[in-house]
Structure 1
Amino acid sequence: MPRPLDKLPKAHLHLHFTGSMRHSTLIELAREQGLHLPDALEQDWPPRLRATDERGWFRFQRLYDIARSVLAKPEHVYRLLLETAEDEATAGSRWLEIQVDPSGYAQRFGGLTATLELVLDAAARAAERAGIGMAVVVAANRTRHPLDANTLARLAAQYAGKGVVGFGLSNDERRAQARDFDRAFRIAKRAGLLAVPHGGELLGPRSIAQCVDDLEADRVGHGIRAAEDQRLMERLADRQICCEVCPTSNVGLGVAERAADVPVRRLFDSGVPIALGSDDPLLFGSRLLRQYELARDVYAFRDGEIAELARQSIRSSSAPEALRKELMKEIDDWLMTPPPESSAESSPQ
């Protein structure tokens, strides 16, 4: 048997707040509140999606909004983040940066600031109970006006060093160019936050280049279309700008037909740092550990390369330096430990 991937320490850098919910929790909360869920979120789960056209993306967003609606009370937020932290610990994830757009919940939780403070408190409590590190990325929405992003960036800046570590930009990248949000990212950067916009998922290399050139991205959410441009991959590699690659999400949204079509190997071999992520397990049906299983089973990564993927996730994170050193040592220990079959073969008969 190969080395167990759940024992490999790793960081998870691409996980959305609502999308991290357990499917069983979605069902339970909906029934408690008498909310009707569409078949795609219940008996036909995980839904079959194809978001490469506008109609498909609208359906994806509709399902996401329905899922969001079950989180109606503060205790639901505490439950979601505790369960998420427990799932991360089970997968060997020792550091999580979870992304949230407070405006999606502001109306029910007392405004933007109150919502962010609720999420931060719930994240801190969940991390302590599950024994992992957890931080928050505040994300703006590409489909809304850049002024809304400026507001969120100022909010995120107020909580820099208090649980917020980054500023992101999510939703359909076809709806607005990255450069439209440059002011918001300047606000975030001045506060010392990481710039982590989505790019290169539904659009090609130019979208990624805008994230790098106009938003000074430290990481790029998804970024898989960089594989279409050798010079762009060289830039990402030279500057060690990480791509948060989410294979099951790419397949789930129809960006790739099969997991084998996601260019994880090409990016890795070109020196582009990769942090594997699960994006929205609630809608795509698999969590972080599955992404590492794909690295081994589909992309033919040897254990030394899988260990390097874990290292890259930690290097690209905002984890405290002491924790980084600890995790790096544990990764080395994981790699130095013989796989179970080797241990059995070398033991006395």
Structure 2
Amino acid sequence: MRVRDLASLPKAHLHLHFTGSLRVPSLVEMSARHGIRLPAAITDGDPLRVPADARGWFRFQRLYDAARHCVRSEADMRRLVDEAAADDAAEGSGRLEIQVDPTSYAPFVGGITPALEIVLDEASAASARHGLEVAVVVAASRMRHPMDARTLARLAARYAGEGPGEVVGFGLSNDERRGDTDEFAAAFRIARRAGLASVPHGGELLGPGHVRDVVGALAPDRLGHGVRSVEDASLLASLVESGVALEVCPASNVSLGVYAHDEDVPLRELVDAGAQVALGADDPLLFGSRLVAQYETAREVHGFSDAELADLARASIRASRASEGSKARLLAGVDDWLDDPVAPFVG
């Protein structure tokens, strides 16, 4: 069967975490250079699978923290950004909005401001080097005090823009079950006043009630995950009506035990309800699955036609913070991909 090559489909990647984007060989080299022993679960080639409970999340977070501990210099940070850009470009991304909490890397480079500036500078350079646009989402953590989130929001606001090497959004990540969502609202108001997109996580580990809390308090433009909104028809309808895009990461949902199998992820239900869905890889370092693999899952598991896959790519582009000119260029590329009658054989 001749099918179109998903790696040549122009798309935007809107849900990729900084350390979570690392290549395993690069992480191994960093750990050796810094004399840090990595847990075998990161390097054994077996994607992480944990139950969606407190102990499961703890294991995921422990492994993520172990990897993040190896990123401890400007050179490490620049290498990470460059390789993430190269990997996304190879998979057809014309736009990458990578998410970073500079607090994690600040001790090694002189503070949160230098940490963010390193990421932004390398994002600009990597964009030119690899032929895509790499912008940045600054993310606060639910595990830290809400005042830290305000500090990060003010920092993000200083570098707000829409182009490569600029901050385009403000997020809230980590365990959805921790922290009081309302207490982070002030940070998101700071970010919105600067023109940044509101892109918090919600609706993966927790259900519709949590999604309602996040929507009410943080007024998201995009919702990281949001898959559990399918459990409440009225909630899902309100997200569709208000235009909140969902950054759906099928590999994450299964790896974290939210759904037992790929076919259980409600991708088809969300799309059929009219939701604007942007597929993302989340943390390929631990889940062993990059962006094209999410499109392959949509095709092979959920039965999406090439026309429907093109619509997913268009949704990701429209939900991005790229300029209107960049969006138009990428959308034209999607049309060209779909119009090509002699696409390469890939399967």
Q: Give the CA deviation at 1:8.
A: 0.6
Distance 1:341 1:185, change over 3 A: closer
Kindly indicate whether residue 38 of structure 2 is the aligned counterpart of residue 73 of structure 1.
no
Unaligned runs of 5+ in 1: 343-349
Kindly indicate whether residue 242 of structure 2 is the aligned counterpart of residue 239 of structure 1.
yes
Contact 1:177 1:207 in 2 (8 A): no
Contact 2:5 2:344 in 1 (8 A): no
Instruction: Tell me, in whole angstroms, the C-alpha distance in 2 between the residues paired with 1:140 and 1:53.
Output: 22
Q: Give the CA deviation at 1:341.
A: 8.1
Contact 2:244 2:276 in 1 (8 A): yes
Q: How does 1:57-206 map to 2 (within 5 A)?
A: 57-161=57-161, 163-206=166-209
State the one-letter code of the partner of 1:86.
Answer: A
Instruction: Tell me, in whole angstroms, the C-alpha distance in 2 between the residues paired with 1:44 and 1:292.
Output: 21
- Which SS does the other structure have where 2:228 is aligned? helix
Instruction: Tell me, in whole angstroms, the C-alpha distance in 2 between the residues paired with 1:47 and 1:341.
Output: 32
- Which SS does the other structure have where 1:325 is aligned? helix
- Which SS does the other structure have where 2:200 is aligned? strand
Tell me the equivalent position of 1:49.
50
Q: Give the CA deviation at 1:44.
A: 5.5
Kindly indicate whether residue 289 of structure 2 is the aligned counterpart of residue 323 of structure 1.
no
Kindly indicate whether residue 338 of structure 2 is the aligned counterpart of residue 335 of structure 1.
yes
Contact 2:4 2:344 in 1 (8 A): no
Instruction: Tell me, in whole angstroms, the C-alpha distance in 1 between the residues paired with 2:93 and 2:238.
Output: 28
Q: How does 1:287-306 map to 2 (within 5 A)?
A: 287-306=290-309
CA deviation string 1:17-67 (max 9, x = no partner): 0000001111121122222111111235433323x2212211111111110
State the one-letter code of the partner of 2:20.
Answer: G
Instruction: Tell me, in whole angstroms, the C-alpha distance in 1 between the residues paired with 2:117 and 2:33.
Output: 26
- TM-score normalised by structure 2 residue count: 0.96
Contact 1:250 1:256 in 2 (8 A): yes
Tell me the equivalent position of 1:256.
259
Distance 1:317 1:340, change over 3 A: closer
Kindly indicate whether residue 22 of structure 2 is the aligned counterpart of residue 21 of structure 1.
yes
- Which SS does the other structure have where 1:272 is aligned? coil
Contact 1:222 1:246 in 2 (8 A): yes
Unaligned runs of 5+ in 2: none
Instruction: Tell me, in whole angstroms, the C-alpha distance in 2 between the residues paired with 1:200 and 1:67.
Output: 25
- TM-score normalised by structure 1 residue count: 0.95
Distance 1:141 1:235, change over 3 A: same
Contact 1:2 1:340 in 2 (8 A): yes
Instruction: Tell me, in whole angstroms, the C-alpha distance in 1 between the residues paired with 2:49 and 2:334.
Output: 36
Contact 2:49 2:254 in 1 (8 A): no
Tell me the equivalent position of 2:270.
267
CA deviation string 1:167-194 (max 9, x = no partner): 0000001012322211000000000000
Instruction: Tell me, in whole angstroms, the C-alpha distance in 2 between the residues paired with 1:97 and 1:144.
Output: 23
State the one-letter code of the partner of 2:338.
Answer: L
Q: Give the CA deviation at 1:337.
A: 1.1
Q: Give the CA deviation at 1:339.
A: 4.5
State the one-letter code of the partner of 1:269.
Answer: D
Kindly indicate whether residue 205 of structure 2 is the aligned counterpart of residue 210 of structure 1.
no
Quick one: percent identity of the two aligned structures?
55
Instruction: Tell me, in whole angstroms, the C-alpha distance in 2 between the residues paired with 1:29 and 1:167.
Output: 28
Contact 1:78 1:126 in 2 (8 A): no
- The Cα RMSD (Å) is 1.3
